[in-house]
Amino acid sequence: MSAVNTERLAPWIITIALFLLWEAACILFDMPAYVLPRPTLVLAEMWNFKGAILLNSLQTLWTTVAGFAIAVVFGLALGIFIGWSKAIYSGLYPVMIGFNSIPKVAVVPILVLWFGVGTVPAILTAFLISFFPIVVNVATGLATLEPEMEDVLRALGASKLEIMLKVGIPRSMPYFFGSLKVAITLAFVGAIISETIAANSGLGHLMLQAQANFEVPLVFGCLIALAILGIAMYAIFALLEQRMTGWAFRSGINAG
């Protein structure tokens, strides 16, 4: 087997190995299913509830993507605004840090108060939790622009806007696309937090119900569904990142 093949297969092998280990441990220690169900049991339960899982996954997916989309637009705009000048950067950054330090779980009740139980708080929680890395990355990309490059353009009579459009923004794109794969997973976490606290549908809600009914295998089934969705979304944005900013991943192609 070639090295490339091994690298491709490694994640699958590790995943399967983990599940085998889990199964073996459950049998070996004679774990009761209501404490830690065996993976085979979890998979069987997932099959039994495939309709509910699918439906609620779609709901979670929709709130995640909606919140994430708002975060992208807002994060990009705020990031460019903050990165525009040193003064704005140093003025707004502490406020941002303060905002980001608030656990979003604490915000959900307020959102419920304002918008009621359901989809809207989930979307907003997903948005609130995921815009921060986008803002920070875009602002950092802009703020770390080489002063020489700025001098070259200014000595040609370029305006601040032109410097941003020609150099600043393209330069911060790898940071932006890099932040998307972090942001999408965070948005996902945000949506689920909100769903487990106050919602009528979604994977988080399903999980809560399963727990209330003591259907532990289904709780684990939901967790696996969450992991699969999370990996899929991360993979999509990692791929997008490579497509959009290939020039930033140039090591290995070049001679120096």
Q: Which residues bind another protein (CB under 8 A)?
A: 146, 148-149, 151-158, 162, 166-167, 170-171, 173, 245, 247-248, 250, 253-256
Beta carbon of residue 76, minimum distance to another protein (angstroms, whole number): 18
Residues 196 and 204: beta-carbon distance below 8 Å: yes
Indicate the residue among 44 and 158 with the shorter CB distance to another protein. 158
Interatomic CA distance for residues 131 and 140, integer angstroms: 14
Nearest to 49 by CA among 221, 226, 240, 229: 221
Indicate the residue among 103 and 147 with the shorter CB distance to another protein. 147
Classify the C-alpha dihedral 112-113-116-119 as positive or negative.
negative
Indicate the residue among 98 and 147 with the shorter CB distance to another protein. 147
Beta carbon of residue 80, minimum distance to another protein (angstroms, whole number): 17
Beta carbon of residue 150, minimum distance to another protein (angstroms, whole number): 9
Place of tokens 């990009």: 76
Indicate the residue among 140 and 245 with the shorter CB distance to another protein. 245
Beta carbon of residue 133, minimum distance to another protein (angstroms, whole number): 22
What kind and span of H or E run contains 161?
helix 160-163
Indicate the residue among 47 and 247 with the shorter CB distance to another protein. 247
* Largest distance between two CA atoms of the chain: 76
Tell me the CB-side half-sphere exposure of residue 247, using CA atoms within 13 A. Answer: 6
Beta carbon of residue 234, minimum distance to another protein (angstroms, whole number): 24
